[in-house]
Amino acid sequence: MHTQHAKKKTILVGQSGGPTAAINASLAGVYETAHACGAHTLGMRYGIEGFMRGGVVDLDERLADPLSVELLERTPSSYLGSCRYKLKPHTQDPEPYHILFERFEDFGIYAVLYIGGNDSMDTIAKLSAYGEEVGSDVRFIGIPKTIDNDLVLTDHTPGYGSAAKYIAASMSEIVRDSSVYDLKSATFVEIMGRDAGWLAGASCLAESSGVATPDLCLLPEVTLDTDAMLNVIAHVLEVKNTAVIAVSEGVRNASGELVCATTQDAADGTRLDAFGHVASLSGTGRFLASLTRNRLGCKTRAVELSTLQRCASHMASSTDLHEAHALGGAGVLSALDGMTGKMTALVRASDVPYLVETALVDVQEVANKERKVPRSFIRSDGMGVTPLFERYARPLISGEISPIMAGGVPRHIDPLGGGLA
């Protein structure tokens, strides 16, 4: 059915926001499904922003070799390039909409698929609403992606499982490394996530390796009381030499200020990106390590996992990559069936055995909303997660994808290279 519908139709796909270890698996899912349905696939270079400046690549040509698609699925980062471009409402600034829809017409675009997080869904929501208003036939579908796992109306988001797997594995190794000396010490491991604690909570998944989980896990959903934190650390150090603390970059103090802002210049700490988010969250671990050293007199260390969380394809979750691929393919099929203004999503049918299904949700209900870790997933003292969190997250990190090795390191797809004039 889809092959007949798709004849001579062109799918335009873009990637936006932060890269992950799974975003290219969604791109592969888009390309392979479109190809199987007889559709032509074009890619945006550097997202919507680059597309407005003429950035287009023919994916039918670039990915014609089956090995290229296989490498694409195993390659971290955003193959097409990304952007953080915010479309204003067309009533405030109509020019970008005029440019985009003219280009859609010039390229004969049947459907636009955008792979990204909250801000990318905002873009799809605005484009689909404008398209409906002006009577455009172009379909607009969002494909979810974010390591932060903070999109609503989906059980979880591709990119999260692989980042969580890397965090769990790294935490297991850090716990072992920190315990080799016979002295009192506290190690703070700073983890991404912005205003949601899903990634920091994933540190509890280190337990399956036979190593205890971090002694504390500090999430943005709970205001950080540093005195209470220091009391817990002091108690831990009474019974063993080492305390390991997982801390989200986005934790806030009682005044509502980001802890990381205390380690940055005022201008840097308040610098925002196009969507109003703090452009750089870093320093929470360093600040808390310094505070702990000064107050408790023990050795401290701060470890920032930083971008390693989102680019460690050698630790990718096969569950994550398979689901990312499926959601990309589902986006193509929904567009070919005439759907628009939707986001593909995951619905969990069962925990044991783990089973999810793909679904479509209204992208207008997703854009500009944020899903936090529920209180039932967080310990009563606010400094750790409950078994409910582990039950939710454990299946998402399951399975391994063996890298294709070359010269002793994982081989990735050749980059597109170059920028736009």
Domain harbouring 84, CATH code: 3.40.50.450
Q: Please give the order of strands across the beta sheet that includes 185-191.
A: 216-218, 242-248, 185-191, 299-304
Do residue 112 and residue 92 come from a single domain?
yes
Do residue 140 and residue 33 come from a single domain?
yes
Q: What is the pLDDT at residue 262? A: 64
Could you report the per-residue pLDDT of 218-246, keeping only the tens digit for each?
Answer: 999 999 999 999 999 999 999 999 999 99
Do residue 45 and residue 130 come from a single domain?
yes
Q: What is the pLDDT at residue 90? A: 95
Q: Is there a cis peptide before residue 353, judged by omega within 30 degrees of 0?
A: yes
Please determine, for residue 95, whether its predicted confidence score (pLDDT) is greater than 80: yes
pLDDT, mean over the chain: 92
Boundary-marking domain end, from 261, 289, 311? 311
Please determine, for residue 365, whether its predicted confidence score (pLDDT) is greater than 80: yes
Global pTM?
Answer: 0.93
Q: What is the pLDDT at residue 208? A: 63
Would 403 be classed as within a structural domain? yes
Residue-by-residue DSSP string for 173-201: HHHHHHTSSSS-EEEEEEE--TT--HHHH
Do residue 198 and residue 302 come from a single domain?
yes
Rounded Cα–Cα distance for residues 168 and 205 (Å): 5
Contacts of 346 (CB under 8 A, 6+ apart): 154, 155, 156, 323, 327, 356, 357, 358, 359
Could you report the per-residue pLDDT of 38-88, keeping only the tens digit for each?
Answer: 999 999 999 999 999 999 999 999 999 999 999 999 999 999 999 999 999
Are 28 and 170 in contact by the 8 Å Cβ rule? The answer is no
Do residue 220 and residue 365 come from a single domain?
no
Which range is least confidently modeled, 260-264, 291-295, 347-351?
A: 260-264
Q: What is the pLDDT at residue 417? A: 76
Please determine, for residue 175, whether its predicted confidence score (pLDDT) is greater than 80: yes
Would 376 be classed as within a structural domain? no
Please determine, for residue 404, whether its predicted confidence score (pLDDT) is greater than 50: yes
Residue 271 tokens, joined = 């610098």
Rounded Cα–Cα distance for residues 309 and 248 (Å): 13
184 or 6: which leads in pLDDT: 184
Do residue 153 and residue 181 come from a single domain?
no
Could you report the per-residue pLDDT of 367-396, keeping only the tens digit for each?
Answer: 999 999 999 999 999 999 999 999 999 999
Q: What is the pLDDT at residue 8? A: 75
Would 270 be classed as within a structural domain? yes
Q: pLDDT class for 269, splitting at 50, 70, 90? A: very low
Q: What is the pLDDT at residue 126? A: 98
For the residues 104-119, what does the mean pLDDT come to?
97
**Which residue range(s) make up the domain with 340?**
2-158+313-370+399-410
Would 377 be classed as within a structural domain? no
Q: What is the pLDDT at residue 291? A: 96
Would 385 be classed as within a structural domain? no
What percentage of the chain has pLDDT greater than the value 90? 88
Do residue 24 and residue 154 come from a single domain?
yes
Do residue 242 and residue 334 come from a single domain?
no
406 or 5: which leads in pLDDT: 406
Do residue 127 and residue 10 come from a single domain?
yes
Do residue 273 and residue 318 come from a single domain?
no
Could you report the per-residue pLDDT of 186-218, keeping only the tens digit for each?
Answer: 999 999 998 999 999 999 999 766 666 899 999
Q: What is the pLDDT at residue 267? A: 39
Would 391 be classed as within a structural domain? no
Boundary-marking domain end, from 263, 293, 311? 311
Residue tagged active-site, from 122, 148, 150, 320: 148
Would 378 be classed as within a structural domain? no
Verify whether residue 414 is a known catalytic residue: no
> How many domains does one find in the chain?
2
Q: What is the pLDDT at residue 209? A: 61
Do residue 146 and residue 230 come from a single domain?
no
Residue 121 tokens, joined = 């869904």
Burial string for 84-104 (b: 16+ CB within 10 Å, else e) reads bbbbeebeeeeebbeebbebb
Do residue 249 and residue 328 come from a single domain?
no
Q: pLDDT class for 336, splitting at 50, 70, 90? A: very high
Could you report the per-residue pLDDT of 276-332, keeping only the tens digit for each?
Answer: 545 456 699 999 999 999 999 999 999 999 999 999 999 999 999 999 999 999 999
Boundary-marking domain end, from 311, 331, 354? 311
Would 323 be classed as within a structural domain? yes
